[in-house]
């Protein structure tokens, strides 16, 4: 395949990747601006500090206002707790219905498009909060959390995206495609991070939120017009049964609780080769891998402001550097470990989890800027654990069960901010005066179970390979036996013919050669006759003429 053909192949296989990138990028782009808006609201409205204090905090001139900075940060950290509940609890419930509905109707696009609408509405709400300066911090928190929560959030979008990719790929290429999807996810983050601090400084809240809203609209229209629903192999009878249900009671059909029960039954049903146990272990991996990510997102910006006195521009530079480093590690893992070396997904997960654990010590005990910049290098492989667990999960179930199983993974992801964000914010507030980076150590400790589970899965995969190899060998042996069995009746018939000929006193071979020529020593005439007959039979081997 030439380079041109390869580029054409890649271009033709681009599906949901741009949609995901245009969803992630504005989320990250607006994230830093939203945190600064919350800090501004907490300072000027909730705490009613004068402009001199709040302007100094915004410029990071905190030498004379250390106490005010601490109070404002604690107020924002407490709001992050209940805001996370809204952003996670509602999607946690909705995603169970989304997964079942998506599988039953064979539709993935609504799972991707409706969350985009929610994020767009949230951005519009933040513009309104910026305009009405007297609105408190809680109003901005509700505007940020409620619309995405009611539309499923990025948990539902990721469920739809990964189910879509699993529908349109084979098992052989699925790890690579999930890796590419994860790269688009990772690519949107550094771009958003790189631009967020600079754009916030020069175009302010209105500019940031307007750009984010525009990108959400691009993602929505791209999904509507350019992403095609995957072709599903559904029986005509099922299609005829499903269409009336959708037309009559769309809401009741969507929120039917029996489908939630069915989701749990399908995901946890017993299967061969420890299927149920593997699904449970993967859900635990989701919790211990995704959880620290949510917890750190809630407090890392506050940590760098307090520990290193960074501005939003400095933080955006560091975040961009960290994500580019992570992107390079993901590219290397997917391209070399998975695609070229064919290393097992579970082993890739082990390497990724160990990278996270080691980096937590560097983050926690860093006291200078350059020490903090070393941490992303140690953490370079961390992003591949997400790819590994998604790839393993997609190979465990059939295509008509992907939505249900992915919805359970989405539930696990949605629950993690509920657990980890309050845990991290509480720990950060409690250790602010002693070890502000203690929450990184917590993340490393909580990631440790993933190493054990990935190693266990690697052992199971090796057993599966041995079993499949043995089955293949047995099948080959069985085919050879069948071939011999097919030749057996002909021999039997020939032998029966010989028995019949014995009755007439002339025993002949299947080719008509008189066997008495081989048994009698003195009947040379018969022997000569037999040899002449053999010469006239080109298919008969010369060995049959041996005296």
Per-residue confidence at 519, pLDDT binned at 50, 70, 90?
very low
* Structure-block tokens of residue 270: 């017993």
* Structure-block tokens of residue 307: 């520990």
Largest CA distance in the chain: 132
Q: pLDDT tens digits, residue range 82-104? A: 887 888 888 888 888 888 888 88
Question: Which residues make beta-bridge pairs with 514?
Answer: 508
Q: pLDDT tens digits, residue range 384-426? A: 887 788 778 777 777 667 777 777 887 887 788 788 888 898 8
Q: Which of 49, 53, 50 shows the shortest CA–CA distance to 62?
A: 53
Assess if residue 497 is contained within a domain.
no
Assess if residue 8 is contained within a domain.
no
Q: Which of 146, 160, 144, 147 shows the shortest CA–CA distance to 95?
A: 160
Range of the domain at 196: 13-229+238-472
Per-residue confidence at 540, pLDDT binned at 50, 70, 90?
very low
Assess if residue 313 is contained within a domain.
yes
Assess if residue 283 is contained within a domain.
yes
Q: Where are the beta strands (DSSP E) in 372-520?
A: none
Is the same domain home to 315 and 177?
yes
Assess if residue 4 is contained within a domain.
no
Is the same domain home to 466 and 516?
no
Is the CB of residue 526 less than 8 Å from the CB of residue 517?
yes
The DSSP call for residue 133 is T
pTM above 0.85, yes or no: no
Q: pLDDT tens digits, residue range 334-378? A: 888 877 888 888 898 999 999 999 999 999 999 999 999 999 999
Distance CA 496, CA 267 (A): 59
Q: What is the CATH number of the domain that holds 214?
A: 1.20.1250.20
Is the CB of residue 242 less than 8 Å from the CB of residue 104?
yes
Is the CB of residue 116 less than 8 Å from the CB of residue 220?
yes
Q: pLDDT tens digits, residue range 135-192? A: 999 999 999 999 999 998 888 898 888 888 888 877 667 767 777 787 777 677 767 7
Is the same domain home to 381 and 530?
no
Assess if residue 490 is contained within a domain.
no
Is the same domain home to 447 and 517?
no
What pLDDT score was predicted for residue 359?
95
Is the same domain home to 382 and 459?
yes
Name the domain boundary from 422, 455, 472: 472
Q: What is the mean pLDDT of residues 540-544?
A: 40
| Phi-psi label, residue 270: left if phi above 0, alpha if psi -120 to 50, beta otherwise | beta
Contacts of 100 (CB under 8 A, 6+ apart): 259, 260, 262, 263, 403, 404, 407
Is the same domain home to 467 and 532?
no
Distance CA 331, CA 249 (A): 46
Per-residue confidence at 484, pLDDT binned at 50, 70, 90?
low
Q: Measuring CA to CA, how many Å separate 400 from each of 131, 255, 272, 394?
A: 47, 19, 18, 11
Is the same domain home to 510 and 464?
no
Distance CA 101, CA 440 (A): 38
Q: pLDDT tens digits, residue range 33-69? A: 998 999 999 999 999 999 999 999 888 787 788 888 8
Is the CB of residue 28 less than 8 Å from the CB of residue 193?
yes
Q: How many domains does the chain have?
A: 2
Q: Which of 125, 116, 305 shows the shortest CA–CA distance to 205?
A: 125
Assess if residue 478 is contained within a domain.
no
Assess if residue 484 is contained within a domain.
no
Distance CA 315, CA 194 (A): 9
Q: Which of 256, 279, 19 shows the shortest CA–CA distance to 154?
A: 19
Distance of CA 95 to the CA centre of its chain: 16
């Amino acid at each position: 395949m030439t380079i041109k053909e390869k580029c054409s192949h890649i271009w033709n296989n681009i599906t949901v990747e741009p949609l995901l990138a245009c969803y992630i990028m504005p989320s990250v782009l607006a994230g830093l601006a939203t945190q600064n808006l919350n800090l501004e609201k907490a300072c000027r409205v909730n705490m009613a500090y004068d402009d001199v204090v709040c302007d100094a905090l915004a410029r990071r001139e905190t030498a004379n206002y250390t106490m005010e900075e601490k109070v404002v940060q604690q107020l924002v950290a407490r709001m992050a707790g209940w805001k996370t509940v809204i952003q996670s609890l509602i999607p946690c419930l909705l995603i169970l219905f989304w997964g079942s509905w998506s599988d039953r109707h064979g539709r993935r696009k609504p799972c991707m498009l409706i969350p985009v609408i929610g994020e767009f509405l949230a951005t519009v709400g933040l513009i309104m909060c910026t305009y009405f300066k007297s609105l408190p911090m809680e109003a901005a928190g509700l505007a940020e959390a409620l619309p995405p929560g009611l539309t499923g959030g990025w948990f539902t979008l990721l469920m739809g995206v990964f189910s879509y990719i699993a529908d349109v790929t084979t098992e052989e290429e699925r790890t690579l495609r999930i890796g590419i999807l994860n790269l688009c996810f990772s690519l949107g983050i550094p771009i958003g991070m790189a631009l967020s601090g600079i754009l916030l400084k020069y175009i302010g809240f209105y500019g940031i939120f307007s750009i984010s809203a525009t990108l959400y609209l691009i993602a929505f229209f791209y999904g509507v017009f350019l992403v095609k629903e995957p072709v599903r192999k559904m029986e005509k009878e099922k299609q005829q049964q499903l269409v009336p249900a959708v037309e009559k009671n769309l809401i009741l059909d969507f929120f039917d609780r029996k489908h939630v029960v069915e989701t749990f039954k399908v995901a946890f049903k017993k299967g061969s080769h420890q299927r149920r146990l593997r699904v449970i272990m993967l859900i635990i991996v989701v919790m211990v891998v995704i959880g620290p990510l949510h917890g750190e997102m809630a407090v890392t910006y506050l940590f760098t402001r307090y520990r290193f006195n960074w501005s939003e521009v400095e933080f955006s530079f560091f975040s961009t550097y960290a994500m580019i480093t992570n992107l390079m590690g993901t590219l290397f893992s997917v391209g070399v470990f998975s695609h070229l070396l064919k290393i097992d997904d579970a082993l890739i997960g082990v390497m990724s989890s160990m990278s996270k654990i080691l980096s937590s010590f560097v983050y926690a005990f860093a006291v200078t800027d350059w020490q903090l910049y070393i941490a992303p290098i140690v953490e370079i492989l961390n992003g591949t654990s997400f790819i590994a667990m998604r790839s393993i999960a997609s190979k465990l179930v059939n295509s008509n069960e992907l939505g249900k199983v992915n919805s359970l993974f989405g539930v696990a992801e949605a629950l993690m901010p509920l657990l980890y964000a309050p845990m991290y914010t509480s720990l950060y507030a409690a250790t602010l005066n002693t070890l502000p980076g203690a929450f990184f150590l917590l993340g490393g400790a909580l990631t440790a179970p993933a190493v054990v589970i990935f190693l266990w899965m690697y052992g199971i995969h090796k057993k599966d390979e041995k079993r499949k190899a043995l089955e293949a060998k047995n099948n080959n042996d069985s085919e050879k036996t069948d071939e011999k069995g097919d030749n057996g009746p002909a021999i039997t018939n020939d032998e029966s013919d010989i028995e019949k000929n014995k009755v007439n006193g002339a025993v002949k071979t299947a080719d008509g050669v008189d066997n008495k020529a081989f048994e009698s020593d003195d009947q040379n005439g018969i022997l000569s006759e037999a040899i002449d007959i053999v010469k006239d039979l080109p298919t008969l081997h010369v060995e049959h003429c041996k005296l």
